[in-house]
């Protein structure tokens, strides 16, 4: 029972770190970036290459994945995305889904189509007993790391100067600019951090699942479910939505394996019927 | 009137199109493979197997030049059907081949039947396929052929209870059914049959459930190319510590993925018809040329099926002295026997079904790499579902 809870929470946390960057771009910057999973894939593959080809430790792989994906995010934001901020949502969707297909083909060409995994360092392997339940060390590591990230993000957004500038830039870009806020730079930094978090999530997920070139497409559905259930205007919304979905998914598959795969979609449908604006968002502004 | 003219035009167009076919010196083979999408690794191995065969045997057989056309169906049945039609109508292929998944083969069946073109099934493994068209010939293997040996082995080696975990699609359900049938006939008991969604990235819940049921063994089946994720989570859940043996069909310890799975899979027992480690002169030659023309890639069961598929086509053309008539080719393929890199192969003359040799294998480290090392041959197994 406790094992199931922990597995579910770990899975949910992972979903959260993977999806949070998308929440930021969608909710705060009002930009639909379906290519978000591609940044996660970049981080995941970087970790795999570092560990399997060069024998570098997993602990270095995580920050490297963050930095690599963030840099990739900045470059693409400055060169490509910036032209689409003012375009319609349909253009943004078409553009970013095209980017996904390109990313898939590029990774396929360089890394091959087969699933690739890493071997975790011994300190993260194995299981420990906790209140009579056997829990994977790596899942605990994931929970702690993602928990810290959430607290940190929430703090930055709500308590720091950067956070209030960002919110100002989003609410009314023109006025914010008039007040001397460098909106362009703030958006670039935010986009980079979002991409970096995706990369970190990708690197973390190589420890549980494997990477293959279709990763961005496979996970796009999960990201979108997290955001549609949690709403995209806060960080806490997607956070609780991820946990809910993670736990419901794992528990559902455990207790009623016959319908397990459908539970997360059922939750999404029910939430969208009852609260179309998302579970944790106030009714539309 | 106008309709009459159109009809006349159409008739002469057909007659014109038929003309070059009479005199043609090339025999075209159209392969429909999943080169992109979820099954891309399968498509890659199939293509590589064909390449290895052509490198070894050249492109001339019985006075004809063989030309291979590869089309990517991305693993989607609707596209496969359209590609099959295009290959038959536009490219005028004499033989179709490939087919990564069961629904794809099913979709192509009517095209093959109508056009009277033989279709060589290399990958799709559901038994019922070959009954869908008299032009289907299978060179791969079927689910019961793969699952019976491991069920027998389990029953004979002190395993009394088992839980099955399969991917929730036709071959997975077949694997579950045949394992249960055979294992329970031998006195074993299947405690629970779990099915994971095909696109499921996280097996945690299913594996925990299997572990909590405390069986003697856990039987696994996932499509080829997807074993890495599953095995990673199996290892993470420490079944060895709970005294539960993990057994599977050879798809899980796919040669393509095995080497990256790490020492935790050492000793795992699986059943399949092909291991890159198979000890025979034919296999050594195959592995050598395969690695040479394919950038040192290790061949897996898909590669060997593609290789054998080309072999059957060449053999049939030899038997018909180069005549590429569909019916004659299918008749020539029936009952073919040859020495494959997997061991002695046969196409059942009555059912057009492959009869591959089967082996029980154990993962071992050899020359620094992980291999499925065969330790027991169960001999050729006819598919039991065909009457």
The structure tokens listed for B300 are: 């897996």
- Residue A266: its chain B contacts at CB < 8 A? none
Chain A residues 261-280 within an 8 A CB cutoff of chain B? 261
Tell me the CATH architecture of domain B144-272+358-380: 3-Layer(aba) Sandwich (3.40)
Q: Is B288 on the interface with A (CB under 8 A)?
A: no
Q: Find the mean pLDDT for residues A52-63.
A: 87
Helix (H) or strand (E) holding A21: helix A2-23
The neighbour count for residue B202, using CB atoms within 10 Å, is 23
- Residue A114: its chain B contacts at CB < 8 A? 41, 44, 225, 228, 256-257
pLDDT, residue A31, reads: 82
Residue A189 in this model has a pLDDT that exceeds 50: yes
Would you call A253 and B41 a contact, using CB atoms and an 8 Å cutoff? no
- Chains A, B: CB contacts under 8 A, how many? 100
Distances from the Cα of B252 to the Cα of A252, B46, B225, B230, B383, angstroms: 25, 18, 8, 8, 21
C-alpha torsion B41→A216→A200→A260, nearest 10: -90
Of B44, B168, B257, the CB nearest to A115: B257
Which fold does the domain B2-141+280-355 belong to in CATH? Rossmann fold (3.40.50)
The DSSP 8-state label assigned to residue A25 in this structure reads I
The DSSP 8-state label assigned to residue A211 in this structure reads B
* B121: exposed, middle or buried (Cβ count in 10 Å: 0-12, 13-18, 19+): buried
Q: Is A11 on the interface with B (CB under 8 A)?
A: yes
pLDDT, residue B21, reads: 46
Query: CA of B117, closest CA in chain A: separation in Å?
Result: 31
Would you call A254 and B168 a contact, using CB atoms and an 8 Å cutoff? no
Sheet strands (E) in chain B? 26-33, 60-61, 64-72, 95-98, 119-121, 136-138, 161-167, 189-196, 217-221, 245-249, 269-272, 337-340, 343-347, 354-355, 357-366, 369-380
Nearest residue in chain B measured CA to CA from A221: B199
8 A C-beta contact, residue B317 and residue B310: no
pLDDT, residue B24, reads: 59
Three-state SS for A111-166 is HCCCCECCCCCHHHCCEEEECCEEEEHHHHHHHHHHHHHHHHHHHHHHHCHHHHHH
Would you call B209 and A257 a contact, using CB atoms and an 8 Å cutoff? yes
Nearest residue in chain B measured CA to CA from A251: B205
* Pairwise CA distance, residues B124 & B138, whole Å: 9
Of B36, B38, B229, the CB nearest to A209: B229
Would you call A257 and B237 a contact, using CB atoms and an 8 Å cutoff? no
| φ, ψ dihedrals at B383, nearest 5° | -65, 125
pLDDT tens-digit profile of A232-282?
A: 777 788 888 899 888 888 888 888 877 777 888 888 888 888 887 777 765
DSSP string, A81-107: GGGGTTS-HHHHHHHHHHHHHHHHHHH
pLDDT, residue A156, reads: 87
- Residue A248: its chain B contacts at CB < 8 A? none
* Pairwise CA distance, residues B188 & A257, whole Å: 23
Q: Is B204 on the interface with A (CB under 8 A)?
A: yes
* Pairwise CA distance, residues B236 & B231, whole Å: 8
Domain residue extents for chain B? 2-141+280-355, 144-272+358-380
pLDDT tens-digit profile of A139-156?
A: 889 899 988 988 898 888
Q: Is A281 on the interface with B (CB under 8 A)?
A: no
pLDDT, residue A256, reads: 82
Q: What is the pTM of this model?
A: 0.81
8 A C-beta contact, residue B340 and residue B304: yes
8 A C-beta contact, residue B306 and residue B122: yes
* Pairwise CA distance, residues A51 & A122, whole Å: 14
The structure tokens listed for A13 are: 């946390």
Strands B217-221 and B189-196: unpaired
Q: Is B100 on the interface with A (CB under 8 A)?
A: no
Would you call B225 and A115 a contact, using CB atoms and an 8 Å cutoff? yes
The structure tokens listed for B288 are: 């050598």
A contact test, residue of B173, B205, B212, B302 with most A CBs within 10 A: B205
Helix (H) or strand (E) holding B318: helix B301-319
Nearest residue in chain B measured CA to CA from A108: B36
Of A219, A249, A257, the CB nearest to B194: A257
3-state secondary structure (DSSP) of residue B37: coil
> Within chain B, which residues score under 50 in pLDDT?
15-23
Domain residue extents for chain A? 2-213
Of B44, B204, B257, the CB nearest to A11: B204
In DSSP terms, which residues pair with A216 in a beta bridge?
Answer: none
pLDDT tens-digit profile of A24-39?
A: 778 777 788 888 999 9
Q: What is the pLDDT of chain B when averaged over all its residues?
A: 89
The neighbour count for residue A17, using CB atoms within 10 Å, is 25
Would you call A209 and B41 a contact, using CB atoms and an 8 Å cutoff? no
Same fold, B2-141+280-355 and B144-272+358-380: yes
- Residue B228: its chain A contacts at CB < 8 A? 114-117, 210
Would you call A249 and B205 a contact, using CB atoms and an 8 Å cutoff? yes
| φ, ψ dihedrals at B382, nearest 5° | -75, 145
* Pairwise CA distance, residues A175 & A285, whole Å: 19
């Amino acid at each position: 029972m406790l094992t199931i809870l922990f597995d579910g929470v770990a899975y949910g946390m992972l979903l959260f770190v993977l999806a949070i960057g998308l929440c930021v771009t969608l909710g705060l910057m009002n930009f639909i970036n379906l290519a978000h999973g591609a940044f996660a894939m970049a981080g995941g593959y970087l970790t795999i290459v570092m560990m399997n080809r060069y024998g570098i430790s997993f602990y270095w792989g995580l920050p490297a994945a963050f930095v690599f994906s963030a840099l990739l995010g900045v470059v693409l934001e400055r060169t490509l995305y910036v032209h689409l901020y003012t375009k319609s949502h349909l253009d943004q969707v078409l553009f970013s889904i095209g980017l996904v297909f390109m990313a898939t083909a590029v990774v396929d060409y360089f890394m091959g189509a087969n699933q690739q995994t890493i071997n975790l360092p011994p300190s993260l392997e194995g299981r420990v007993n906790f209140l009579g339940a056997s829990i994977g060390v790596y899942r605990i590591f994931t929970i702690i790391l993602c928990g810290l990230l959430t607290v940190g993000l929430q703090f930055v957004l709500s308590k720091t100067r950067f956070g209030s500038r960002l919110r100002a830039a989003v609410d009314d870009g023109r006025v914010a600019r008039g007040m001397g806020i460098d909106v362009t730079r703030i958006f670039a930094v935010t986009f980079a951090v979002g991409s970096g978090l995706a990369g970190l999530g990708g690197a973390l997920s190589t420890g549980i699942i494997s990477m293959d070139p279709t990763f961005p497409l496979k996970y796009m559905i999960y990201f979108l479910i997290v955001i549609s259930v949690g709403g995209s205007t806060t960080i806490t919304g997607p956070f609780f939505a991820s946990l809910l979905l993670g736990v419901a998914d794992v528990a559902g598959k455990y207790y009623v394996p016959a319908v397990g795969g459908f539970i997360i979609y059922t939750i999404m449908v029910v939430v969208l019927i009852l609260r179309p604006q998302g579970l944790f968002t106030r009714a539309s502004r | 009137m106008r309709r009459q003219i159109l009809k006349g035009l159409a008739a002469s167009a057909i007659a014109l199109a038929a003309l070059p076919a009479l005199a043609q010196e090339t025999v075209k083979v159209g392969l429909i493979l999943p080169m992109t999408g979820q099954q891309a690794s399968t498509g890659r191995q199939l293509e590589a197997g064909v390449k290895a065969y052509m490198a070894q045997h050249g492109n001339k057989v019985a006075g004809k030049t063989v030309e291979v056309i590869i089309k990517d169906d991305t693993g989607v049945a609707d596209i496969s059907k359209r590609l099959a039609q295009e290959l038959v109508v536009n490219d005028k292929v004499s033989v179709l081949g490939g087919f990564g998944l069961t629904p794809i083969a099913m979709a192509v069946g009517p095209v093959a039947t109508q056009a009277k073109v033989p279709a060589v099934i290399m990958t799709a493994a559901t038994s019922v396929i070959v009954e869908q068209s008299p032009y289907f010939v299978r060179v791969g293997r079927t689910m019961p052929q793969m699952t019976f040996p491991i069920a027998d082995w389990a029953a004979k080696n002190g395993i009394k209870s088992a839980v099955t975990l399969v991917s929730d699609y036709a071959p997975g359900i077949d694997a579950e059914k045949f394992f249960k049938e055979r294992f329970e006939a031998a006195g074993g008991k299947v405690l629970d049959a779990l099915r994971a969604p095909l696109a499921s990235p996280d097996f945690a819940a299913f594996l925990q459930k299997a572990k909590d049921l405390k069986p003697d063994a856990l039987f696994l089946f996932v499509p080829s190319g997807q074993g890495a994720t599953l095995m990673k989570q199996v290892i993470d859940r420490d079944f060895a510590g709970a005294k539960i043996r993990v057994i599977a069909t050879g798809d899980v310890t796919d040669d393509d993925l095995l080497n990256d799975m790490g020492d935790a899979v050492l000793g795992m027992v699986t059943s399949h018809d092909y291991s890159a480690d198979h000890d025979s002169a034919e296999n050594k030659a195959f592995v050598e040329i395969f690695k040479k023309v394919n950038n040192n890639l290790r061949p897996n069961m898909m590669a060997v099926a593609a290789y054998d598929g080309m072999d059957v086509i060449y053999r049939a053309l030899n038997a018909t002295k180069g005549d590429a008539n569909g019916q004659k080719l299918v008749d020539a393929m029936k009952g073919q026997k040859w020495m494959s890199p997997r061991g002695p192969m046969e196409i059942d003359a009555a059912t057009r079904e492959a009869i591959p040799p089967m082996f029980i294998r154990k993962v071992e480290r050899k020359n620094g790499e992980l291999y499925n090392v065969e330790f027991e041959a169960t001999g050729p197994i006819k598919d039991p579902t065909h009457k």
